[in-house]
Amino acid sequence: MKAICLLSGGLDSTVTLAYALCKGHEVTALTIDYGQRHQRELEAAKAVTSHYRVRHVVMKLPLTEFRSSLIDPSIPLPDRKVEDIGYDIPDTYVPARNIIFLSVATGLAESLGASNVFIGANSIDYSGYPDCRPEFFQAFEEMLRVGTKMGTLGHPIRVEHPLLRKTKGDIVKMGKIMDVPFELTWSCYRGGERACGHCDSCLLRLKGFKEAGLIDPVPYEE
Amino acid sequence: MKAICLLSGGLDSTVTLAYALCKGHEVTALTIDYGQRHQRELEAAKAVTSHYRVRHVVMKLPLTEFRSSLIDPSIPLPDRKVEDIGYDIPDTYVPARNIIFLSVATGLAESLGASNVFIGANSIDYSGYPDCRPEFFQAFEEMLRVGTKMGTLGHPIRVEHPLLRKTKGDIVKMGKIMDVPFELTWSCYRGGERACGHCDSCLLRLKGFKEAGLIDPVPYEE
């Protein structure tokens, strides 16, 4: 069965892609270049799709005038402790990002005759974004049921979020079992030569590798 | 209060923009260039925003690989009778288009501190698209309630669809009362020098002017 997998090039979306492949899907990976400051993750997405030899669609959607520290370099990225992450919605929140990404993925799925859309969202070790929570996905699927052609025909696109309730440690372990090329992935919001090690995304990734008892192969700043 | 108004440059979205202004909103018009074959509607949108002197954000989002006769010129546009429109979902359906447009508009609204998103959707004299129906908008708003920052704070973005239950004739009459510059708008899917007069969009527009007892100022092919 055909499926679309949203792929940022980070740890979670790459593990999700591997999972979709494990399930036997014919996967088209979809990367959206929304003008993120860490453009390096686009290169990572490309490397991951080359590794897996899956079709890769890259769509450019510059989110002009969207307010987020992931887009606007004049807004500083937060530096905080890992235990403080997840209790509020930080400046890295890109308004409606997952809603937009899933909408585009749904349209592509309907166009290509795919039945499933995979997304690596996580609601346990995450940054507190509202569009990563189970109740959001439930409401989104209901909306697809009434708002799309496939939905009105009784076959709405299914949104699959296999990592939703997993800890970051479990995600790393899952990736290890599936032999995910962690070294090709990129999570750091700063997008420098080496990962910064202290943005929210690095902190959560490092926590995951530590919990899994593994060493992250990606180079970090001293 | 700030509001975003989705503006294609056609009749319905222009009447909706006039209505949002009438209600006293400070409006930012949002046009999405998704690679539609009737690029002429983008010029119309520009003319309309100049007329009203409202801020105009144009976002480019080429819907690569989306299957629709509005995007892919190799798929012929339907030519049919006006009374046959609305009973099935035609090839002009762009998968998830309103879902994508509303998602982007929501993100822009959250970014600019706008509380409302206006859309000129209509479920009476329409082409049968599932994302134009009342049940879709209800589900979409519920999804915004749980999936956005403003929603979790108890102030979800409101989606306003003032034309949803009006006939095309009523829309034209409403536009006439508000002195809408009909001559600047563009509805024809073919996007030639003159409107073709026989695509779904022309048929519905002509029906509206006829019902309202008015002459459409836009030039039509002989």
Q: Among B94, B111, B136, select the one facing A147 at the smallest CB separation.
A: B136
Residues of A in contact with B121 (CB under 8 A): none
The rounded distance, in Å, linking the Cα atoms of A168 and A205 is 7
Question: CA–CA separation, A126 vs A98, rounded Å?
Answer: 14
- What distance in Å separates the CA atoms of residue A92 and residue A66, rounded to the nearest whole number? 11
Integer distance in angstroms from the first to the last C-alpha of chain A?
Answer: 45
Residues of chain B contacting A152 with CB distance shorter than 8 Å: 89, 130
Q: What would the CATH number be for the domain defined by A2-212?
A: 3.40.50.620
pLDDT at res. A209: 97
- Which of B57, B103, B145 lies closest to A103 in CB terms? B103
Give B147's contacts in chain A (Cβ within 8 Å): 96, 98-99, 130-131, 133, 136, 139-140
Q: What is the DSSP string of B82-141?
A: GGGTTSS--TT--TTHHHHHHHHHHHHHHHHT--EEE----SSSS---GGGSHHHHHHHH
E strand map for B49-125: 55-60, 116-118
Provide the pLDDT for residue B13: 97
Arithmetic mean of pLDDT over chain A? 92
Decide if B99 and A62 are in contact by the 8 Å CB cutoff.
no
A182 CA to centre of own chain: 14
Tell me the β-bridge partners of A59.
A32
B158 has which bridge partners? B116
Per residue in B58-100, pLDDT (tens digit) is 999 988 788 888 888 888 877 778 877 777 788 888 889 999 9
Query: Of B1, B23, B42, B5, nearest to B119 (Cα)?
Result: B5
Q: In terms of Cα–Cα distance, which of A108, A86, A105, A90 is closest to A204?
A: A86
Residues of B with Cβ-Cβ distance to A140 under 8 angstroms = 143, 147
| Structure confidence at residue B190 (pLDDT) | 86
pTM: 0.90
SS3 state of residue A55: strand
| Nearest of A24, A27, A95 to residue A57 by alpha carbon | A27
Q: Where are the alpha helices (DSSP H) in chain A?
A: 11-22, 40-52, 97-112, 134-147, 149-152, 168-177, 200-212
Min Cα separation B64/chain A (Å) = 7
CB atoms within 10 A of CB A87: 8
Window 66-125 of B: residues touching A by CB (8 A cutoff) are 66-68, 89, 93-100, 103-104, 106-112
Contact A148 B104 (CB under 8 A): no
A134 vs B87: which has the higher pLDDT: A134
pLDDT 10s digits, A34-51: 888 778 889 999 999 999
The answer to whether the beta carbons of residues B192 and B202 sit under 8 Å apart is no
Alpha-carbon distance A212 to nearest alpha carbon in chain B (angstroms): 30
Q: Band the pLDDT of A216: cuts 50, 70, 90.
A: very high
Residue in the structure block whose two tokens are 């009447």: B15
pLDDT of residue A31: 96
pLDDT, tens digit (0-9, with 9 covering 90-100), for B93-132? 888 999 999 999 999 999 999 999 999 999 888 778 888 8
Q: What are phi and psi of A176, to 5 degrees?
A: -60, -45
Q: What is the average pLDDT value for chain B, to the nearest integer?
A: 92
- Rounded Cα distance between B61 and B209, Å, is 32
How many Cβ contacts (< 8 angstroms) between chains A and B? Answer: 155
Using CA atoms of B43, B48, B52, B56 in order, give the dihedral in degrees to the nearest 10.
-50
A100 CB neighbours in chain B (<8 A) are: 100, 103-104, 107
CA distance A33 to chain B (A): 10
- Residue B148 DSSP class: S
Q: Between B60, B130, B147, which is nearest A151 by CB? A: B130
Provide the residue ranges of all domains of chain B, joining segments of one domain with +.
Answer: 2-212
Return the amino acid letter for A142.
E
Q: Do A130 and B111 touch (CB under 8 A)?
A: no
Yes or no, beta carbons of A139 and B145 under 8 Å apart: yes
The band of A66, judged by pLDDT with boundaries at 50, 70 and 90, is confident
Contact A148 B135 (CB under 8 A): no
Residue B218 pLDDT exceeds 90? yes
Instruction: Note the pLDDT tens digit of each residue in A86-95.
Output: 777 888 888 8
- Give me the pLDDT at residue A58, please: 95
Compute the average pLDDT of residues A82-87: 76
The reply to whether residue A130 touches residue B149, judged by beta carbons under 8 angstroms, is yes
Plot region of A191 (φ>0 → left; ψ -120 to 50 → alpha; else → beta): left
* Alpha carbon of B97: minimum distance to chain A alpha carbons (Å): 7
CA distance B60 to B115: 23
**Chain A residue with minimal CA distance to B149?**
A130
Q: What is the ipTM of this complex?
A: 0.86
Q: Over pLDDT 70: what percentage of chain A?
A: 100
Determine how β-strand A158-160 pairs with β-strand A2-6.
unpaired
From residue B90, give the alpha-carbon distance in Å to each of A137, B52, B118, B153: 28, 33, 25, 39
pLDDT surpasses 80 at A78: no
One-letter amino acid for residue A140 of the chain:
F
Distance CA A60, CA A70 (A): 16
B95: amino acid identity, one letter: P
Test mutation, A67, A69, A94, A104, chain B, max B CBs within 10 A = A104
Would you call A67 and B148 a contact, using CB atoms and an 8 Å cutoff?
Answer: no
Q: Are residues B168 and B20 in contact, defined by beta-carbon separation less than 8 angstroms?
A: no
Taking the CA atoms of residue A18, residue A19, residue A24 and residue A30 in that order, the dihedral angle to the nearest 10 degrees is: -60
Residue of B nearest to A138 (CA): B143
Which amino acid belongs to residue B196? C
Q: How far apart are CA B152 and CA B143, in angstroms?
A: 11
Residue B106 to chain A, least CA–CA distance (Å): 7
What would the two tokens of residue A14 be? Answer: 């790459």
Nearest to A89 among B65, B111, B149 (CB): B149
Decide: A92 and A78 in contact? Cβ < 8 Å. Answer: yes
Least confident of A116-130, A164-178, B2-16, B75-89: B75-89
